[in-house]
Structure 1
């Protein structure tokens, strides 16, 4: 399998020499990657999101819709140039609708919010998603342009996500999926208006509805009660995908824990994903789970160690080196949310694998039954898995508290 993955990497690199446009794509889908600066992780066939987002904004003719958790722009960064392309779109008359989560406003920076509000033809709305589900957020990171092309991935509307964090996304031109992404945005945009008027927002879907997980390409989203027609349920879909696995599952995440988020910092038990992973391992499927060093906090680390004790499960922790600029809060970490199953199925999404993401918060996941994409995602996993930044999880080690928002 490793030989196949390395061959895939070499073949992907060869694309650069035979095509003027360096990208890795299949019909309707292009894989896009943020490689953190000052890391040895070359992927010359994968375009970066700064290039792709700028292209999307430059080509917009009528409307851009953006759904994000929070927003932070830093002058002088590559993302500043992306933001300028969004400003230019608004100035030439493109209608822009921007939806942020209320909790995410606290993570945003006031100058960025003011710059957004100052863009001509841009309407900014703040949605308190917790009013819909009790304890959820807009965690999805996505946009759509003119109802014809969309982007879904792990990149937040944050300069760090374009420079200092390992992120993965998809540029999507599949008309059916783009229409569904647009419908999700419109649903949440209207929900904000209803809540602002003091009205309730009734569910539009029911869990009893059967889902079709057979198509070659399909969108899943959460929370299911607020999914437009035709969009599958992520909480049911992930276990269904894992149940299909026959030989190997490769997963890359910021964090993994069979725990949710309760009041006053509590972490209620949430076994849905963990049960599916353990069931796959029990029937002989090799699980290669790669998480960030942020996942070594308690109590999550104890559950990771428990999982690592099982036959057929291997877990590695990725620690990226600090930038030469010095410590950067909430950066220098892997944040991609990807999965490859048996070299046949690829998953690229916005959810961490824990409670709260698949049941309470708005998230989007793209599933592609395409060997070329699945093997490219697997090769990306293998590159990081075998890099100097990844180390096997040590079940006997007492891991230090990771430095996230401040240097420890």
Structure 2
């Protein structure tokens, strides 16, 4: 009798207590999740570090494979987009010839004119005014171009436009007084942040980009520094895109990465937030419809890899991929090139780009033409299919005798020739991939087998220089870069 009695007693007395406990727990668990008592308080999340401090499992992603979570403005591309190749050429380099390009100065002045609300700038150094280059002479008044841009920024702030400038940390070579002078004259409208790349990257690091984003509608990416010489005397090239929010918003996202890193005590995040992400890349570029001709495919890459938000192609990987896809030709023009680090001591051999060029030339019989500036690095004589661009110089003090352009063209030949190009803000030394901030802009036809007019123009610009009297075969130089 004892065991059945005890069993009945336990069922009658203990079971109601257990049921009460379970019901109470269920109610509290429901309240916990309904009101999110365990989540971040005050709606705060840490977008920069990739966590939100919750202890619950993340929701199941509804994103397609390879897509990123996005936050912010992402406008569609329309036929209103206007692409302009911006070029700095010395007046007497190609006198009385037209090449369908616009001067770098005029491109920037139009950006200033178009601005209605906001200008954001990513920059290396500033020498727009002559007093930043006191050791130079300017008898012909070339510095007026820099003065125009400086005055234009001052005027923009005075008429109520917000200006944010992210620049490399001031060094002994340059004072960087100009951005601070613009800020101090308009403290309510202008903000300036400087980035010390050496804190985050080993060796020699700096911000080397030259980029604008205006009102989320207009943009520029190219090689020209904020230097009067870059606007008048250094051979530069870039791309301005007007009335094109889909492109300008993406450029702004990359500059905003610099802006974040310029904050006091900034550290590299483990994961960039959704407000910096993009779903536009080499495989899925922006498709920009054109008023005439095929649509244009555009995407941006950046370096170093630690600054790449979700979806962003890395610069060196993007360049190598485009070279590996070439069928007929690869044309390259840059100021500095070396298959190694040049600023980081000790030097490190870095062959990724060079190997891609050799693969193209030797395995697929792609025509490779390589122009570089006669500058302060040894010209790589080991490639008989490369030429050096012998810099223009008439002996004028501070008449900068070199080409600073950075771009490459690649043929993607199908039934019809369809080429693509990359414009870059940085040189092609390993340091620039590893520890320096830069931006690349990839352009090609969005329609298979169709020719992209922008790439065709860039090809003509390359061949203009290649076939000019200023281009000298590297066989004419010794191993120290001295003309034989």
Q: Based on CA coordinates, which of the two structures has the bigger radius of gyration?
A: 2
Q: Name the SS for the 2:381 alignment partner.
A: helix
CA distance in 1, matches of 2:314, 2:227: 28
For residue 225 of structure 1, report the CA deviation from its aligned partner: 2.2
The alignment's C-alpha RMSD in Å is: 2.6
* Counterpart among 419, 425, 440 of residue 350 in structure 1: 425
Distance verdict in 2 for CA 1:205–1:91, change over 3 Å: closer
Aligned to 1:8: none
Distance verdict in 2 for CA 1:26–1:139, change over 3 Å: farther
Distance verdict in 2 for CA 1:205–1:276, change over 3 Å: farther
Contact 1:318 1:389 in 2 (8 A): yes
Contact 1:250 1:340 in 2 (8 A): yes
* Counterpart among 190, 194, 203 of residue 122 in structure 1: 190
Aligned to 1:159: 228
CA distance in 2, matches of 1:55, 1:285: 39
Aligned to 1:320: 392
* Counterpart among 322, 327, 351 of residue 246 in structure 1: 327
Aligned to 1:281: 361
For residue 161 of structure 1, report the CA deviation from its aligned partner: 0.3
Aligned to 1:362: 437
For residue 229 of structure 1, report the CA deviation from its aligned partner: 3.0
CA distance in 2, matches of 1:352, 1:270: 14
* Counterpart among 184, 196, 201 of residue 254 in structure 2: 184
Contact 1:339 1:346 in 2 (8 A): yes
Aligned to 2:153: 86
CA distance in 1, matches of 2:371, 2:441: 19
Contact 1:71 1:107 in 2 (8 A): no
Deviations 1:247-278 (A, max 9, x none): 111111001110114544x3211111111111
Q: Name the SS for the 2:421 alignment partner.
A: strand
Contact 1:167 1:334 in 2 (8 A): yes
Contact 1:338 1:349 in 2 (8 A): yes
**Which ranges of structure 1 fall in alignment gaps of 5 or more residues?**
1-24, 403-408
Aligned to 1:233: 314
Contact 2:119 2:161 in 1 (8 A): yes
CA distance in 2, matches of 1:110, 1:27: 34
* Counterpart among 380, 393, 396 of residue 461 in structure 2: 380
CA distance in 1, matches of 2:173, 2:216: 29
Greater alpha carbon shift after TM alignment, 84-93 vs 124-133? 124-133
For residue 45 of structure 1, report the CA deviation from its aligned partner: 2.0
The answer to whether structure 1 residue 57 and structure 2 residue 137 are counterparts is no
Contact 1:80 1:159 in 2 (8 A): yes
* Counterpart among 394, 405, 408 of residue 339 in structure 1: 408
* Counterpart among 36, 40, 48 of residue 90 in structure 2: 36
Contact 2:373 2:402 in 1 (8 A): yes
**Which ranges of structure 2 fall in alignment gaps of 5 or more residues?**
1-78, 131-142, 286-296, 412-417, 446-451
Contact 1:71 1:113 in 2 (8 A): yes
The answer to whether structure 1 residue 218 and structure 2 residue 284 are counterparts is no
Contact 2:279 2:311 in 1 (8 A): no
CA distance in 2, matches of 1:94, 1:33: 27
CA distance in 1, matches of 2:82, 2:309: 21
Distance verdict in 2 for CA 1:100–1:110, change over 3 Å: closer
Aligned to 2:216: 147
For residue 186 of structure 1, report the CA deviation from its aligned partner: 1.4
Aligned to 2:163: 96
* Counterpart among 285, 292, 305 of residue 381 in structure 2: 305
Deviations 1:382-404 (A, max 9, x none): 111111111111176244569xx
TM-score (norm 2): 0.69
* Counterpart among 329, 338, 346 of residue 257 in structure 1: 338
Contact 2:214 2:248 in 1 (8 A): no
Q: Name the SS for the 1:165 alignment partner.
A: coil
TM-score (norm 1): 0.81
The answer to whether structure 1 residue 131 and structure 2 residue 199 are counterparts is yes
